[in-house]
Amino acid sequence: MKLERNFQINPVLAAVVPLINVVFLVVLFFTLSSRFVLQSGLAITPPPSSFVLTPARQPHFVSISASPVPSIYFGDRRVSIEELGPRLAEMRGKDRTLVIRADRGTSYEVLMSVMNTGLQHGFSIVLATARER
């Protein structure tokens, strides 16, 4: 008794499968090779600027909200201005860049106190802004 196949391979499918594999590998490569910048979950609206600087390699982030009582976040933890100094003193490493993401309505006094604390501990200060539209 001779058995026959009912299933026939579609020639288009044989050409599409390698293409899908290549696309998948390219997406995987770009996903694994990209740098992810982790920022705190604090939603702020920075002021606009027409000037853009390239970011440092591994900066430390400080976020300041402009609520009636300003909140200061170092990384993902809420700190007071008094606690910020000792935390900055603990930071070791070659790249001592502090990126300050302050909300548009943040008082100048709070912003300057955070900047002065960073400068006292040897950090270079970068103010984050939004791009002008």
DSSP β-bridge partners for residue 74:
62, 77
In a domain, 9, yes or no: no
In a domain, 85, yes or no: yes
Q: Which domain holds residue 95?
A: 48-131
Residue 104's pLDDT is: 83
In a domain, 11, yes or no: no
In a domain, 72, yes or no: yes
Condensed to tens digits (0 to 9), the pLDDT of residues 42-87 reads 666 666 666 666 666 778 888 888 878 888 998 888 999 899 999 9
Count of domains for the chain: 1
DSSP per residue over the chain, as a string? ----------HHHHHHHHHHHHHHHHHHHHHHHSPP----S----PPEES---PPPSS-EEEEE--SSS--EEETTEEE-HHHHHHHHHH--SS--EEEEEE-TT--HHHHHHHHHHHHHTT-EEEE--EEP-
pTM of the model: 0.60
Residue 93's pLDDT is: 73
Are the C-beta atoms of 96 and 122 separated by less than 8 Å? yes
In a domain, 30, yes or no: no
> For residue 129, is pLDDT > 80?
no
CATH number at residue 114: 3.30.420.270
Helices 81-90 and 108-120, packing angle to 10 deg: 30
DSSP β-bridge partners for residue 62:
74, 100
